[in-house]
């Protein structure tokens, strides 16, 4: 098949080869537990009514991103981890790169288009038990690079998600639901955070896609 462009006849295959490609697996999110492990862990999580936001403040979790390696803070490390051809300036600030948003399949080339998402939102963590933690533990949660809690996604997806749980928001790409549910359960299990009855049902629905 060919495409006529003015005086030129361009083979379709040639055009496809000129389109930049990006690996959908580029984001090196710390691996969540297996499907079977997630189902077992889900049954061990405490099921309770949703807590309130009384006393909640974003600053109780993160007055700012924590410094981690030299001049690099948590956010900058995640952006480097999840991107391709990432360039940083002398202060470790990301100035260029390409990122694939696992939530909605967008390929992003500007820092203005991306966010580092807390997979289990800070507000939900507060409602689920983090309200009783020390500020130091909350800050460790918000900067956790060991569990699958932090991931680079499109700013539009992150804004749409906000502080919602899988009951009312799921990644637009259903193909990511299995990983998302396993990651959610991994984080909540490690931190012994509660879930609601509706949240558990939603997570089971998402885990069922692991077998599709």
Measured CA distances, 120 to 71, 98, 107 (Å): 26, 24, 23
Does some domain include residue 17? no
Domain extent at residue 175: 23-211
Does some domain include residue 8? no
pLDDT in tens, 133-159: 999 999 999 999 999 999 999 999 999
pLDDT in tens, 118-140: 999 999 999 999 999 999 999 99
The number of domains in the chain is 1
Does some domain include residue 4? no
Category of 50 on φ-ψ map: left (φ > 0), alpha (ψ -120 to 50) or beta: beta
Q: Looking at residues 89-99, what average pLDDT do you find?
A: 94
DSSP 8-state symbol, 104 = T
pLDDT at 209: 98
Measured CA distances, 182 to 107, 163, 192, 207 (Å): 24, 18, 15, 7
Does some domain include residue 61? yes
């Amino acid at each position: 098949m060919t495409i006529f462009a003015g005086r030129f006849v361009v083979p379709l295959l040639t055009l496809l080869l000129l389109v930049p490609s990006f690996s959908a697996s580029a984001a090196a999110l710390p691996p969540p537990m297996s499907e079977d492990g997630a189902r077992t862990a889900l049954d061990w999580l405490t099921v309770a009514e949703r807590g309130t936001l009384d006393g909640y403040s974003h600053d109780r979790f993160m007055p700012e991103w924590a410094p981690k390696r030299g001049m690099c803070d948590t956010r900058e490390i995640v952006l480097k981890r999840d991107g391709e051809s990432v360039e940083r300036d002398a202060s470790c600030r990301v100035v260029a790169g390409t990122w694939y948003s696992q939530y909605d399949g967008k390929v992003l080339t500007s820092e203005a288009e991306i966010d580092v998402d807390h997979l289990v939102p800070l507000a939900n963590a507060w409602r689920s038990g983090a309200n009783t933690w020390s500020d130091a533990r909350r800050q460790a949660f918000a900067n956790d690079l060991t569990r699958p809690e932090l991931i680079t996604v499109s700013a539009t997806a992150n804004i749409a998600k906000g502080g919602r749980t899988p009951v009312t928001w799921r990644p637009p790409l259903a193909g990511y639901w299995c990983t998302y549910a396993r990651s959610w359960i991994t984080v909540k299990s490690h931190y012994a955070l509660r879930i609601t009855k509706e949240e558990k049902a939603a997570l089971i629905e998402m885990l069922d896609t692991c077998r599709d």
